Chains A and B, each alone.
Chain A
């Protein structure tokens, strides 16, 4: 397959215009967060850019004393872990179901994706009144339920993408070598999907960690991180909230970027071929 772009010749300004708009799009997506990151290095109360020689981690140091923030952080990390632990296998199972379906698959897909499009506030409100009706008191469990609903469509889609990258002849080879369907799945399909399953887990974790609207009605006594931050942002923000926002930006951008480029490396062929052969050999040896 070629590495060149489809259109290579003259474009009468089309390339220039379209590239400029793509650059503008990336700018509005990234620039504010980057600006905040650099402004948070300002040691003064006034939040604006300063000369690099005045950069300081003053406000980041002040974060360490914010116990309510750490309480919220701990709660959110815990909920995000619980959400990801549930969403990854359930999403994989849903992806496998979709692949095995024939007539019902479009309806199933619509059901899977529908949860993304119901407003979070309404989803959270609905779940909270239902749980209240069932006399379940709000806690990390109820927040996790709301977040599971939100992250599952993404986990399922990532698994589906990973599944479609597994070449059918690999499975056939394993079956020809005498592996049962279950053996072929466990020893060939699953290991080849390792990258997608890791992505699925990390995406579910991050989506849960950052979710604001759904948690609003579902939290118990302990706020989640976005709820705590939202409160701080709307009450005469002290510079520590900028520092914490900066930390959130660095950690979340870095972890998603790692996933994306890790997956890209894995898909770059040679490594994959070798892993397929190794998987198939293990089927033969263990049979």
Chain B
């Protein structure tokens, strides 16, 4: 194809069209990450409160001390829990959109599932405090029903609150990839299975589930990656002393230990990149977006 029929622009322009976005991504996205990775092997300079080009592994040794490694693992654990819970909600929710709704309702549901993403995450996380707090609506209901005598304390400022807040915030990331795959399922396959007498559950587990599996895994991965990076929910809803990699970076930066902050960031980014590359190799995630292309 030498001529993109849709845009009406010749293919030779592709490079120039890509240039502005590439400049943004390379200059403001990649270069800082490469600098961080390099500078994580430099040393702190107490004279300038900055760094000096003396190569050392001090930061990576420090990474393994003071329980920092366990914060990294805890962050991954909470993100994994969030991704698992989101997936459990997203598969049925996306199935309602893709299989059990007419076109009108499907469009409405997709809009409803996407809209909150573009609103303030900060406010939505903060709102959980009102719902889950000692005086919150859940405790009020529990007490008035006689289920609890005193307010349930673990609802707020706990890992429970953090995971709930993250699931509510990042659910769209799990739902949308599955919905994209539903759009590509050939409806006649499902009708055929029903004509042949397969019940709903048989049809769902043997035909639908395998077809949407790449979307399920992609959604899990998206939620996991985003949940690893966030700090808002933990800072607003987590217990006293609850930490995450992002909070740890902020704490280390507060005492201007640049190389250590860079080392933490490097480990996180490299782990995430490795995860995405492995998943992309296995699942060809970029194919999810294929119909955007041709």
Contacts and interface: CB of A to CB of B under 8 A. Distances in A.
Nearest to A128: B32
A39 B32 contact: no
Given A126-B33, A245-B127, A30 B116 contact: yes
B241 interface: no
A156 B25 CA distance: 13
B181 interface: no
B65 interface: no
B24 A149 contact: yes
Interface residues on A, range: 35 or more
Given A9-B194, A14-B200, A130-B31, A29 B102 contact: no
A165 B119 CA distance: 26
A241 B97 CA distance: 36
Interface stretch (B54-62, B66-74, B147-155, B243-251): B243-251
A58 B120 CA distance: 23
A148 B10 contact: no
Contact of A35 (B130, B253, B280): B130
Interface in B247-294: 249-250, 253, 258, 261-262, 265, 268-269, 272, 276, 280, 286, 289, 291-293
Contact of B25 (A152, A161, A175): A152
Interface string A217-250: 1000000001001100110000000100100110
Interface in A173-190: 174-175, 181-182, 184-185, 188-189
Contacts of A163: 6-7
Contacts of A96: 4, 7, 9, 13, 17
A121 B235 CA distance: 13
Contacts of A3: 102-104
Interface stretch (A61-69, A257-265, A270-278): A257-265
A59 B104 CA distance: 39
A23 to B, nearest CB: 9
A21 B113 CA distance: 13
A25 interface: yes
Contact of A206 (B20, B93, B118, B164): B118
A197 interface: no
A6 B95 CA distance: 11
B146 interface: no
A35 B269 contact: no
A284 interface: no
A115 interface: yes
A105 B29 contact: no
Contacts of A106: 286
B21 A99 contact: no
Given A28-B168, A100-B17, A22 B6 contact: no
A209 B119 CA distance: 9
Given A6-B187, A30-B116, A210-B119, A97 B232 contact: no
Given A233-B236, A257-B111, A189 B229 contact: no
Given A5-B100, A24-B89, A111-B22, A100 B107 contact: no
B255 to A, nearest CB: 14
A265 B58 CA distance: 59
Contact of B130 (A36, A156, A172): A36
Contacts of A18: 92-93, 95-96, 100
Contacts of A148: 24, 28
Contacts of B1: 102
Contacts of B137: 35, 48-49
A261 B111 contact: yes
Contacts of A185: 7-9
Contacts of B8: 171, 174-175, 181-182, 184-185, 188-189
A19 B106 CA distance: 12
Contact of A152 (B24, B250, B280): B24
B121 A212 contact: yes
A10 interface: yes
B78 interface: no
A119 B18 contact: no
A100 B228 contact: no
Contacts of B33: 118, 122, 126
Given A36-B126, A129-B35, A166 B20 contact: no
B20 A93 contact: yes
Contacts of B201: 12, 14
Given A230-B122, A245-B123, A125 B230 contact: no
B130 A216 contact: no
A14 B119 contact: no
B254 to A, nearest CB: 12
26 contacts: A5-B99, A5-B100, A5-B102, A5-B105, A9-B194, A19-B100, A25-B90, A25-B113, A28-B167, A28-B168, A29-B116, A35-B137, A99-B7, A100-B17, A101-B11, A118-B272, A119-B268, A126-B36, A129-B258, A164-B293, A181-B9, A213-B232, A229-B123, A245-B120, A248-B120, A261-B111
Given A49-B137, A206-B119, A252-B120, 9 more contacts: A5-B100, A10-B200, A22-B97, A33-B123, A118-B272, A126-B265, A133-B35, A233-B126, A249-B123
Nearest first, the 5 closest Cβ-Cβ pairs linking A and B are A119-B229, A126-B32, A97-B17, A97-B18, A32-B127
